[in-house]
Amino acid sequence: MAEHNETGEKGEVLAANYLKNKGYTVMETNWRFKNLEADIIAIIDDTMVVAEVKTRKSNFFGEPETFVTKQKQRNLIKAANEYVERYQIDLEVRFDIISVILNSNGNSVNHIESAFYPLV
């Protein structure tokens, strides 16, 4: 497996554990619909959270969350819509970004709630 894939997987595991420790129920990881993917789908209270996880080994080129493009946001919204329809979810939906930095000084997790909103 390529190193960047291993880094991404480690970040997703850390992010899922972070959410669990905060009281979220993780329903899915790496949920796929056609060519779309949601890294984490979780529930807290009356909200379904669709989280994009961005993992880097440093923030030298910028914070990981800045690499979630508008196209990626549109794709997450489409994936979330399919999930809601397929499983008849009747909850508010929120889109979060979890940025993870893995390095020798320790790992850091930054959870950005309501990072973006679907356009109406």
Q: What is the block-wise mean pLDDT of the chain (120 residues), using blocks of 10 residues?
A: 71 96 97 96 98 83 78 95 96 96 87 88
Burial code (b: 16+ CB inside 10 Å, e: under 16) for 1-32 equals eeeeeeebeebbebbbebbeeeebebbebebe
pTM: 0.90
DSSP run (H or E) holding 25? strand 25-33
What CATH number corresponds to the domain at position 96? 3.40.1350.10
pLDDT tens digits, 66-77: 788 899 999 999
Residue 41's domain comprises: 3-116
Domains identified in the chain, total number: 1
